[in-house]
């Protein structure tokens, strides 16, 4: 009987089975796209306190992202102490941990203000957050609505702002390509601005490194204060000993030019003597190549001339030795006796001087070192620091240099803060800048 019914209604049964299979597949696909959570999934929950949770509704598949990657979903929103507490289910395979310095930002996902939560997981040395922990409201932010902005403005400012928006719409109407061209032209400017920001960040790193190295140098010098004191004392004693013989040194130095001039003349005569001596020695060579009687007489005459030249040399050198060299040696003898203790003290202090100059050499190496890459050395940033200081103090009058600064404040802020008006009055005077409150 059953087989008979099956044979009779088999087309309808096949259609029903096909519909069931298609329905199951469609339901599975829809649930997978809605990120259906099952008890068997490995998830952990985190909470975030927000000022408000407008358009953030559980069950609408609103994502929780980190760097543009979906790592979880919004599963619940409650109110606690006047603040919205958002519960988030996070996949540990995509984001294993969150830290105490993590941040949460609620931003629109579409033009209709479908919201999503962007997380920054934080980093060490902050402590790791446990399952169910809450990111405080100080580390979260929500988007600012346009009506909040206009409500914060007074009547006149709101009217001017509305006129500005209307004028901006009229001015850009039909000029889409011009606006695109303007934004495209801002690309190099944005690139240069980023390079400037990177340079400022590198300068901050270099300054911190300079301060750290100076602290190391200061600590090293503080441990050697006694040795530096000994070096200074020994140097003072040495220079004092040398200064006590300044008269004798001055007299000796004043006699040196004449001595040098006479020595130069003596060496000139010695050169003449050597020129005459060379042929004499060559003519006196014995053997088969020896000189003939005529050449011997010629050699004898040359020897006589050489002896005569030697006599002239002795006659010239003797007064120099007797009148100039001997008094110089006699005058230098007391100086040499006084320099012996000073040289002994200087020899004892040489190790301390060596240590001091090693410290100085280390300081100079640190200042002159230019590390590889885009990071420059201390001397490069010292030039920039001097340039910035010069620009900072470039304004002066009869009383000297003055600091330059810029104060930006709105009329609404001055109206709400009377103390700020009292502080700025001596600087700006009583100027009718801000209109009277309505």
Please write the tens of the pLDDT for every residue from 311-334: 777 777 777 777 877 787 777 777
- CB contact at 8 A, 159 and 136: no
According to DSSP, residue 76 is labeled E
Q: Which residues pair with 108 in a beta bridge?
A: 115
Q: Which residues are CB-neighbours of 411 under 8 A, at least 6 positions away?
A: 433, 434, 435
Q: Are 371 and 364 in contact (CB under 8 A)?
A: no
pLDDT given at position 37: 64
Q: Please report how many Cα atoms fall inside a 13 Å half-sphere around the Cα of residue 208, on the Cβ side.
A: 7
Helices (DSSP H) in 393-430: which residue ranges? 411-416, 418-428
What pLDDT is stored for residue 437 in this prediction? Answer: 46
CA distance 153 to 156: 8
Pull the structure tokens for residue 226.
Answer: 């006694």
The DSSP call for residue 374 is S
pLDDT, residue 213, reads 87
> CB 6: neighbour CB atoms within 10 A?
10
Outline where DSSP puts E strands in 12-62: 44-50
Are 106 and 83 spatial neighbours (Cβ–Cβ below 8 Å)? no
Question: What are 21-78's pLDDT values in tens digits?
Answer: 999 898 877 776 665 566 656 788 889 998 888 877 776 778 899 988 888 888 888 8
pLDDT score for 321: 75
**Smallest Cα–Cα separation from 80: which of 117, 49, 45?**
49
Confidence tier at 381 by pLDDT (50, 70, 90) = confident
Q: In sequence order, which residues have a C-beta less than 8 Å from that of residue 235 and are 6 or more positions away?
A: 349, 353
- Is the CB of residue 295 less than 8 Å from the CB of residue 209? no
Whether the CB-CB separation of 66 and 118 falls below 8 Å is answered with: yes
Alpha carbons 138 and 107: distance in angstroms, whole number: 17
CA distance linking residue 174 with residue 432, whole number of Å:
40
User: d(Cα 189, Cα 131) in Å, to the nearest integer?
Assistant: 45
Could you give the count of Cα atoms lying within 13 Å of 126 in the half-sphere of its Cβ? 14
Rounded CA-CA distance 121/176 in Å is 39
pLDDT tens digit string along 179-236?
A: 888 888 888 888 888 888 888 888 888 888 888 888 888 888 777 777 777 877 888 7
Residue 308 has pLDDT above 80, yes or no: no
Whether the CB-CB separation of 131 and 44 falls below 8 Å is answered with: yes
Strand, coil or helix: 396: strand
The tokens for 414 are 């001055």
């Amino acid at each position: 009987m059953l087989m008979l019914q099956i044979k009779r209604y088999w087309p309808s049964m096949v259609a029903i089975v096909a519909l069931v299979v298609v329905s199951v597949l469609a339901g599975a696909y829809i649930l997978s796209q809605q990120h259906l959570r099952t008890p068997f999934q490995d998830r952990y929950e985190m909470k975030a306190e927000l000022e408000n949770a407008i358009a953030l509704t559980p069950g609408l598949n609103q994502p929780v992202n980190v760097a543009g990657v979906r790592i979880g979903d919004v599963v619940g929103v409650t109110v606690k102490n006047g603040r919205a507490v958002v519960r988030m289910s996070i996949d540990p395979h995509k984001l294993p941990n969150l830290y105490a310095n993590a941040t949460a930002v609620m931003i629109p996902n579409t033009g209709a203000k479908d919201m999503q939560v962007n997380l920054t997981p934080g980093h060490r040395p902050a402590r790791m957050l446990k399952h169910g922990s809450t990111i405080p409201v100080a580390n979260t932010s929500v988007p600012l609505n346009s009506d909040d902005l206009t409500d914060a403005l007074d009547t006149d400012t709101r009217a001017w702002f509305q006129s500005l928006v209307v004028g901006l719409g009229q001015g850009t109407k039909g000029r889409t390509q011009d606006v695109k061209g303007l934004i495209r032209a801002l690309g190099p400017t944005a690139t240069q601005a980023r390079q400037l920001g990177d340079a400022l960040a590198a300068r901050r790193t270099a300054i911190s490194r300079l301060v750290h190295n100076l602290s190391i140098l200061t600590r090293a010098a503080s441990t050697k204060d006694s040795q530096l004191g000994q070096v200074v004392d020994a140097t003072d004693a040495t220079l004092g000993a040398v200064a006590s013989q300044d008269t004798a040194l001055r007299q000796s130095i004043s006699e040196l030019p004449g001595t040098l001039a006479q020595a130069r003349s003596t060496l000139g005569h010695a050169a003449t003597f050597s020129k005459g001596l060379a042929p004499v020695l060559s003519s006196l060579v014995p053997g088969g190549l020896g000189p003939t009687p005529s050449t011997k007489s010629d050699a004898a005459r040359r020897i006589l001339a050489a002896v005569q030249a030697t006599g002239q040399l002795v006659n010239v050198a003797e007064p120099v030795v007797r009148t100039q060299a001997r008094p110089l040696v006699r005058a230098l003898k007391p100086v040499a006796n006084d320099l012996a203790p000073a040289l002994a003290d200087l020899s004892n202090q040489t190790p301390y001087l060596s240590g001091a100059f090693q410290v100085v050499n280390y300081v100079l190496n640190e200042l002159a070192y230019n590390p590889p890459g885009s990071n420059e050395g201390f001397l490069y940033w010292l030039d920039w620091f001097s340039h910035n200081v010069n620009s900072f103090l470039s304004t002066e009058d009869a009383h000297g240099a003055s600091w330059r600064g810029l104060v930006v404040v709105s009329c609404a802020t001055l109206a709400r803060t009377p103390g700020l008006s009292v502080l700025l009055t001596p600087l700006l005077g009583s100027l009718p800048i801000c209109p009277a409150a309505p």
